[in-house]
Amino acid sequence: AFLDLSGVHEIKATWMGSTILPCTYVPSEGFTQQTLSWSLERDSSSSTIFRRDSSGDHILLAGFRGRVSVPKDSPGNASLLIESLEITDSGHYTCQITWRSEDNNLVKKEVTTTVKVLKVAATKPIIRAGELGLSVPAGARTSLTCEAAGSPPISYRWFRSTPEGKGLLLSSQAELAWDNLRPSDSGMYYCEAQNR
């Protein structure tokens, strides 16, 4: 298939996540890519998001600045990366490329992908309580794991209670691990889970 663009018909993506809209071709000798554009059609109006020509890359829609990019130095790859997806990013995206042939003819091809941005139900993290009162021999390896279910992404923090009743931050991971337990590690530990 000579200078044919390949893409996908439909992409389902997650709100606040990122997605790549494929648009690729096999570079052919004697043909030079002149322009590449990505446009978005929604609510029956179409606007150009991204354009690459001899003067460089241009992001024409303010709402996409800082959120979209197309690979720079990979001939034949015009795929569009969209980050921090909004529900309003749903629509029909068209990748259009124009090539110039050695005898100065222009060849134009396009491929359209429908994007549906789906909202993940935001839920409060629910922590599964661990067993209270854990006895472990000195010198042993052990770990405490914090497990929470919910969305969007959850961040964890482990604390150790101090005699003054404050929390001493030990880790920002779901797991708190010791390679070699000492008697001084005895104490009260607790985990916090948080999302947006």
Question: In the predicted model, what is the mean pLDDT of residues 17-39?
Answer: 94
Mean pLDDT, the chain, whole residue set: 89
The model's pLDDT over 37-64, given as tens digits with 9 standing for 90+, comes to: 999 998 888 999 999 999 999 999 999 9
The whole-number pLDDT of residue 159 equals 93
Residue whose C-alpha is closest to residue 118's, from 144, 148, 145, 88 = 88
Which CATH code for domain 126-195? 2.60.40.10
Q: Give the model's pLDDT for residue 2.
A: 67
pLDDT at 141 over 90: no
- Residue type at 14 in one-letter notation: T
Query: Distances in Å between the alpha carbon of 61 and those of 12, 16, 49, 88?
Result: 22, 19, 5, 13
Amino acid, single-letter form, for residue 128: R
Residues 183-188, mean pLDDT to the nearest whole number: 89
pLDDT computed for residue 54 by the predictor: 93
- pLDDT digit string (tens) for 83-137? 999 999 999 999 999 999 999 999 999 999 999 999 877 677 676 666 667 788 8
Go through 75-89 and write b for each residue having 16 or more CB atoms within 10 A of its CB, e for each that does not.
eeebbbebeebeeeb
CA distances from 67 to 22, 55, 64, 83, 105 (A): 16, 21, 5, 5, 34
Instruction: Quote the pLDDT of residue 128.
Output: 66
The C-alpha atoms of residue 82 and residue 18 are separated, in whole angstroms, by 6
CA distances to 1, 9, 19, 70, 76 from 73, in Å: 23, 25, 20, 9, 9
Give the CATH fold of the 5-118 domain: Immunoglobulin-like (2.60.40)
Domain ranges of the chain: 5-118, 126-195
Q: Residue 90 corresponds to which tokens in the numbers above?
A: 């749903």
Q: In the predicted model, is pLDDT for residue 1 greater than 50?
A: no
